Every structure is written in C-alpha cells, then in structure tokens.
Amino acid sequence: LVIHPPRGLLLPGLAVFLLLPPSPPPSPQKPRPPLKTLALEFAPAGPPSRSVRAPPPLRMASSTAANLWVLLGLGIAGVLLAAKRLKRPARPDHGAFVSRLELLPPPQPPPPQARHPLTDLCFAIADAFHVSGYITSFGSLEWAKTHDAATQTSLVVSTLVDGGAICVGKTVIDEMAYSIHGENKHFGTPTNPAASDRVPGGCSSGSAVAVAGGMVDFALGIDSIGGVRVPGGYCGVLAFRPSHAVISNSGVIPVAPSLDTIGWFAKDPIVLRRVGHLLLKLSYTDIRLPRHFYIADDCFEISKIPARRLTQVVTKSVEKLYGRQVLSHVNLGNYLASKIPSLRNYSNGQKNGDSKFSSLQALSSAMQLLHKHEFRDQHNEWINSAKSAVDASIVGNLSDDGDSTINIVQDARKEVRLALNTLLKDDGILVIPTALGCPPKLNARELSSTSYNAETLCLQSLSSMSGCCQVTVPIGTHDKCPISVSFIARHGGDRFLLDTTQAIYATIQEQVEILAKSNPSSKEAMNEEAAEAAKEKGNSAFKEKQWQKAINLYTEAIKLNGKVATYYSNRAAAFLELANYRQAETDCTSAIDIDPKIVKAYLRRGTAREMLGYYKDAVDDFSHALVLEPMNKTAGVAINRLKKLFP
C-alpha cells in the first residue's frame, strides 16, 4: 500500500510492516497459505513549489473489504503518528552536542559531613576538554581522525564531578576554537534558542546553547578572545570569564595560552556562583559591597544598540541597591591612552586622540596579534599537515606579520592589567556592552566584515589582555534578540564579581520587566529608532569634518526625540568647530538639564564659556566634570590653564 501524506508530513524512510490474514482458501481441504508481510511506505511529498498530485489508487494485496478497512485505518494512524513526530524540533538538543556521555559523582559522604556542593546539578563541556577514553575533536572532524582518545580527564572536569555534578556530554565549538561567531562546518552551527535565525556566538557555542535550551544547569567553555562572553550575550545567559591563570588549564587543548581561560555558563546566578566557588576554591566569607560602578561611555557609544537602552537598567538597579553616589562615568579610551604607552605601537597609523576609540582599537590589534602568534605556535605543524581540511579563514590568518613586536604586546598586557587594577581597586566594577549589538543573522555579511569584527573585539580585548574577570549579564531583548552588558572586576576579584552578580541580578531583571511594560507606542519607538539613525549619520559626518552636515543631522535627531542628552551634546561639539560658542553653550545646558551626569556636555560648555570670556563659569564646568570623572585629563588641564591665566 502506498500512501501519499499531505505536504509537510514527509518522513523519509518510514515504513510500517503489517501482518495480514490472507484471503480464505477456496475449499476447507486446502491448507491455509502462510501469513503475508505488507509494507506501508510513505512516498515522498513533492517540493512546496509543485502542485500536489492526487494519490494513486490503492494497490491492495487482498481484495476483501475487511483487509481494505484494516489497511486504511492503520495507514491513517501511521500518517498521524508521523505528523505527531514531525512536530518535534528537528534537532531536540538544538545541535549543541557533539557526543553524549555520563560521568557520575562519587557517593555522598556519610553524615554529619556536608553533601557535595554541586549535588543535583548536571553540566556539559566544550569539546576542547579531555575526557579519558574519548577523542577530543576540537571542533574539527579531521582533528578527531588524527588524534587518539584522551588518557586522562581534564582537571576542571574531574573537580566538578567530584563536587557532585554529573557531566552529560561534549558540546560543539568553532573549528579549533578560533572564531567568536559559533559557526562550524563539521558539526553544524548550534541553533540559538533565544533567536533561531541568529548565530549563537563562539567559540563555546554548544555550551551556551545547552544552557539556554535548558538541557543542563551549567556548562564549561573556553575563552581566549570572547569565546564564553560573546555566546553568553548572544544566547541570553550568564557567562563568567575568570581572572587569567586562576584555574588550571590542564587537560584542555590550548588556543593562545596568554589569553586562554576556562569559563562557564548558567541561567541562575546562584549556580554560577556555586560553580565558581568550587573551581576557584573560594571560601564563603562576608560579601564585600561595591563602592564604584564605572559606566564606560565611549564603549557604549560604539554599540549598535541605543546606549540608554543598555545603561538604563544597570543605573536604576545600582541606584536602588547601592545608591546614586556609587555611579560614575569614564572615557575608557582616554584613560587607557594615558596609562598604556605600549598601545601607541598598535594605533594603525592614528595618533591618540585622532579617533575616540583609537586606544581601544590599538588594544584589540595587540590582542589579535598575540592570539594569532600563540595559536600558530601551538597548532601550525598540524595545520600544515591537514591544510586542505582546515577552514581557509584560519589558514589565511596565520602569517608571521608582527611577530617581531610580540615582546611589546606582552608589555601592553602588563600595563593594561595595572591600569584596570588601579581604576577598579578592590571594590570597583567597570560596565561595558558585551558585544557590538544584537547577534548577527546566520550567514550575514557582517560575520565576514573586518570592521565589524574589529569593533566587536575592541570590547573583548579589555579582559583578554588585562586578565581581569568579567561576567556577561543578560538585560532583556532588543528587536526580539537577547542583549547584555558586562561587569569587569580587577584581576583576582573573582569572588567579589560573583557575589555582586548574584546580589544585583534579581534587581536587574525587575528593571528589565519594568522597562518592557513601559514600552512606548509604535510611533514613538519608530521615532526613537529614526533619531538614533540620524545621530549615527551625524557622527559619521563629524568624523569627516562636515560640521554643518553633522549639525543638520543632530537637529533632525532632536526633532524626532528631544529627550536624549547625547544629541544636544554632539551638536554642541559641531557648533564649537564652527566657533558658534553661544549655540554650543545653549545645547550643552539642554543636555545637562536632561542628564546631569553627562561629562562631555560640561567639558564642551566649559570650552564655550572660556571662549566667550566667562572664565569663572568655565572653571565651574571643568570642575564639575572632574567630580564626575576624576581622571579626566582634559578637565584638569583646562582648570590649570585658567587658574594660571586668571588666578
């Protein structure tokens, strides 16, 4: 019997075998023939673009009416079962796993001893961690073919299992853990549970997907240049990169040892903290409260998501828990430029100050050079032996350009760690965007865009190069995609960062819900998006020194949404370039009325007032900028200059 199912119910290869009684024998004297086996085959349905043909007549093995009804009933039942089965996801694990396994914890200790700290939790590990008896594929089928099974289990995996957790499988990573997008031609790209048409982020894509999809309580990944932080942000889960070298990498395939860390994902901040306390061997002592939250304004300005959407949730949460006095703003690019002389070697031909992101870009360039250099040292011999099977983007990026300056890069690592440790001390948190914007769509052009990747890596380079600890914190959605911010604490401040994350997480999610419920009307939302687009165009015109064009675009943004201080402040900067000091002063005052903490508006109004001859007012503005941003060199230099001229 051949049954053509309705279009969309194709189940290739499904066959139902029925044992049917034969037709009655012609006479009682003749023996009954043996039972016949009849296969019900589901013929493939045509493609969607073709019309559905009427099914052919039923070809029956028996002509009796009884057999006809039995066959018809069972055939319909088979179609219904097929339809029910096809309603399930094509990949029930979202393609997160390379292999399934089970590593069980030891028995619980007898009372009165405490139970294992991770009892009742299950976890997965990225396929760069060795497990005894299993081949570690490192994101590559060719790697798996040319390497033997591991003889020892990774130390961090053993620690977690001994701590009471069950390891249930290995997860997909980018090929050789080299990218941050989450794509893999060998095992397939895991499906992002939070946005199925977007990349999950990499390199630890499968681990982030396994947590986001609820398949495990937590998962391990590796992070060199964002391999845990980026997928955490793209999949909307918590992701922790610990301080460099505080957790042993024994039993993990290296990528770039100077940058490599073992990180982990979780949905629950309590689980995130429990895992951290075990791996970092931390004691449960009194929680130290944060005294400073530094909002890195220049980092939020490069984000493709409106800065206010990202920072509003954090600032309101911090104000509610710790008070407004702990909040301050910092221009991180300027701060790093003054503290890290080694970065001048990686400014891509730009002098510090020519671009407001030049120091961050220089740090990113240094990180990429170090990453490439150490990756090549680790794996170049194998890549040369299997070059045809390795992705061309990896092979083509392994030139030895810049190797002569590796010592300078290592100097930059030391300098940036010292700079951030000096800024944050023991009780400070730096707040930055986790990624450049929403996760890119699958196969999007930006995935291969040099400029897009460079800007994304600017944000990742801070922790990668300094070795500081960082946590990705989801803050809802934008355009139906997960978005997040990151908190960074000094190197060695892991317990402080984990404790702070647990303490503030619930308040952040409350603020996310409040913001979602207070969403403006669709017209207002459209105006806000149009205003942001006009501002971005204005910024581009400003960079090209097209001052009047920039003013016109900022004016357009203000007409669409006059509640954003940045629009007025940016227009004031353009007015200053045209020596229109009176209008610049007015715009800065408008910006400050909207946001009393906008440092740039105080600096620009101070400049305008100085040029107008209002020296005392100018000193007041520069002094206020220093209160908000104590290390602002522009304000300090201006005050010293004015006091010398007008003591």
| Within a domain: 319 | yes
Q: Which residues contact 412 (CB under 8 A, 6 or more apart)?
A: 340, 342, 343, 346, 363, 366, 465
Domain assignment present for residue 55? The answer is: no
Among 500, 518, 536, identify where a domain stops: 518
294, 431 Cβ separation under 8 angstroms:
yes
Last residue of a domain, one of 486, 518, 550: 518
Residues 163 and 299 in one domain: yes
Q: Is residue 343 part of a domain?
A: no
Same structural domain for residues 330 and 299?
Answer: yes
CATH number of the domain bearing residue 450 = 3.90.1300.10
Residue 263 lies in a domain: yes
Tokens of 496: 């402080």
What pLDDT is recorded for position 36?
Answer: 38
Total structural domains within the chain? 2
530 with 499, same domain: the answer is no
Could you report the average pLDDT of every consecutive run of 10 residues in the chain (647 residues)? 39 39 44 38 37 42 59 67 48 92 96 95 98 97 97 98 98 97 95 97 98 98 98 98 98 98 98 97 86 94 88 94 90 91 65 55 94 96 91 87 83 96 97 96 91 91 98 95 98 97 98 83 74 86 92 95 93 96 97 93 96 94 93 91 84
Cα–Cα distance for residue pair 526/531, rounded to 1 Å? 8
For residue 7, is it within any domain?
no
Q: Are residues 111 and 188 in the same domain?
A: yes
* 329 in the same domain as 194: yes
| Same structural domain, 490 and 614 | no
- Examine the domain organization and report whether 604 and 559 are in the same domain: yes
Helix (H) or strand (E) holding 524: helix 522-543
Give the 3-state secondary structure of residue 78.
helix
Is 344 a domain residue? Answer: no
Residue 296: both structure tokens together: 């890195």
251 and 159 housed in the same domain: yes
Q: Is residue 48 in a domain?
A: no
Domain that holds residue 529: 522-645
Confidence (pLDDT) at 373? 95
Cα separation of 45 and 55, whole Å? 10
Q: What is the pLDDT of residue 364?
A: 94
| HSE, side-chain direction, 13 A CA sphere, residue 465 | 35
**Are residues 433 and 295 in contact, defined by beta-carbon separation less than 8 angstroms?**
no
**Residues 439, 561 within the same domain:** no
Regarding whether 483 and 592 lie in a shared domain, the answer is: no
The residue from 462, 492, 518 where one domain ends is 518
What pLDDT does 48 receive?
38
218: DSSP letter: E
**CATH code of 554's domain:** 1.25.40.10
What pLDDT score does 400 carry? 78
- Check whether residue 526 and residue 490 sit in a common domain: no
* Residue 438, in any domain of the structure: yes
**438 and 587, same domain (yes or no):** no
